[in-house]
Structure 1
Amino acid sequence: MVVSNPTINQNIENLEINPKPQPDDPTSIVEEIEGVIKLYKNGYLERSIKVMSSVSPYLDSNLQVNARDIFIDKNDNIWARIYVPKRNNNNNSLLPIVVYFYGGGFCIGSTAWKCYHDFLGKLSSEAQCVIVSINYRLAPENLLSVAYDDGMKALMWVKQQGNIGQTSEFWAKYCDFSSIFLGGDSAGANIAYNVTLRHGMSNSNNIKGIVLIQPFFGGEERTNSEISSINVQTCKSALSLAASDIYWRIALPLGANRNHPWCKPLQKDMKWLENIRIMIYVAENDILKDRNLGFCDVLTSNLGNQVEKFISDGVGHAFQILDESTISQTRKQEMIFNIVNFIGK
């Protein structure tokens, strides 16, 4: 069983100042997800620029959606890419808002990644909703709870726009601030869930719903889908068990293991989700399948018909943004259709 390594966390504290070790010293690498991330024992972090390309806010004109990047907090480099469906002069109806968090194990990713830009542009167009896609700070430079702090700050910023006359931002005048949803995939779904809990604990929870796509949770005890993950990988699931463990080791607070409540949600916290509708998407070939299904069962036992569960057959983790196969494209369109219905209720 692998647990958190305090030495690794202590090395992380010096990420900003330590130079890159000599490349001829492979023993200096303490954590590596091949082709994605390397963490050296002196605290130096290396992310591959080949993982995914970043793109400008431009979208295909056929989508009829405008996108723009806006800073939320320049000091902490928290910003958003906002997607707004184009409106004609005769349409005065206000649009629901989706505050979205991208995935990447808390350690990689950007709201400017092409895969997210394309997915969220299409979702905004089909759901006729304003999407505020949040770029938050990453681990291991910023251990959890920083991503949750950034998510909460972003949510409060969004709500603030509705309190100042809906005229301060180009998108706010089109929004129904009584219809705010949170959403995300993988680690982003984890962030959406934990931000919703925080918001509920503040006694100001007017979130209408949350969309959790293959939420990134864990635990020290392995599930069946994790144990059988070697077979799952043959089905092109983007997340391996080894990668999952590394993400948690370098993202969780010093000394924490995978039983930490940010990794393994506590049933007692679910009371803060009362009156919030929840959509959960599970991928059949995902190593997280059993963990996600168990999470659904606990939520349903506590919240009843507030919870809607969907299982995407024949596809793996993050299929909707990373897999271009025919079956994945079909499942992605089904997902968008169901999200559109969920938001529109």
Structure 2
Amino acid sequence: MASPVLPWKTKIILTILSAVTGTVRRPNGTINHRLLKFLEVKAPANNKPVRGVKTSDVTVNANRNLWFCLFTPTETSKGDVIPLPVVIFFHDGGFSLLTTDSKGYDEVCRQFAIKFQAFIVSVNYCLTPEHQISVTIR
């Protein structure tokens, strides 16, 4: 069976991401988040619609840096005011890389908001391994 053919843009992006993740990972497995923040492209919240979606950051708990970005479609497919569903989006990154306001996740959530005609709640959370959670199984 032949491997799927990836577009050249996708191959370039994956190569760059692989280089960045290799650069920010320390020998002990932790992530150099200061260096990652320097390399990461951010997309700040914007109350003015961009491609039919406006965004706003909502703080849940400032002490824990717990917040989410709300993506609100400003154009509905029917043009009517209708109740919209809510979709909760947890960004990828293995719970150790990137944040909700990363440019790539901003693009994905904007596309979801338009395609699904829904509010998208993109949750930010503490990253591992610096913020470890202890679990006891009895």
1:131 has 2:123 as partner: no
Structure 1: runs of 5+ lacking an equivalent: 1-32, 146-252, 255-259, 261-345
Distance 1:62 1:55 in 2: 12
Q: For 1:46, give the aligned amino acid.
A: N
Which residue number corresponds to residue 80 of structure 1? 68
Which residue number corresponds to residue 130 of structure 2? 141
Alignment of 1:48-67 (within 5 A): 48-49=35-36, 51-58=39-46, 61=49, 63-67=51-55
Distance 1:62 1:114 in 2: 13
Q: CA shift at 1:39, angstroms?
A: 5.4
Identity over the aligned pairs, expressed in percent? 24
Distance 2:70 2:111 in 1: 13
1:95 aligns to what SS in structure 2? coil
For the aligned residue pairs, the C-alpha RMSD in angstroms reads: 3.0
1:99 aligns to what SS in structure 2? strand
Which residue number corresponds to residue 80 of structure 2? 91
Rate the CA distance shift 1:34–1:96 in 2: closer, same or farther, 3 A: same
Structure 2: runs of 5+ lacking an equivalent: 1-20
Which residue number corresponds to residue 10 of structure 2? none
1:103 has 2:92 as partner: yes
Q: 1:119 aligns with which of 83, 94, 108?
A: 108
Alignment of 1:286-305 (within 5 A): none
Q: Under a length normalisation based on structure 2, what TM-score does the superposition of the two structures give?
A: 0.68
Distance 1:67 1:118 in 2: 11
Rate the CA distance shift 1:141–1:54 in 2: closer, same or farther, 3 A: same
Q: 2:32 aligns with which of 46, 64, 67?
A: 46
Q: Under a length normalisation based on structure 1, what TM-score does the superposition of the two structures give?
A: 0.29
Mapped contact 1:39–1:45 kept (Cα < 8 A): no
Q: CA shift at 1:59, angstroms?
A: 8.3
Q: CA shift at 1:65, angstroms?
A: 0.9
Which residue number corresponds to residue 16 of structure 1? none
Distance 1:92 1:117 in 2: 24
Alignment of 1:154-193 (within 5 A): none
Distance 2:50 2:124 in 1: 26
Q: For 1:121, give the aligned amino acid.
A: R
Q: CA shift at 1:125, angstroms?
A: 1.4
Distance 1:118 1:58 in 2: 13
State how many pairs are aligned.
113
1:70 has 2:53 as partner: no
Q: CA shift at 1:51, angstroms?
A: 4.8
Larger Rg: 1
Mapped contact 1:59–1:121 kept (Cα < 8 A): no
Distance 2:121 2:58 in 1: 10
Bigger RCO of structures 1 and 2 (CA < 8 A, at least 6 apart): 2
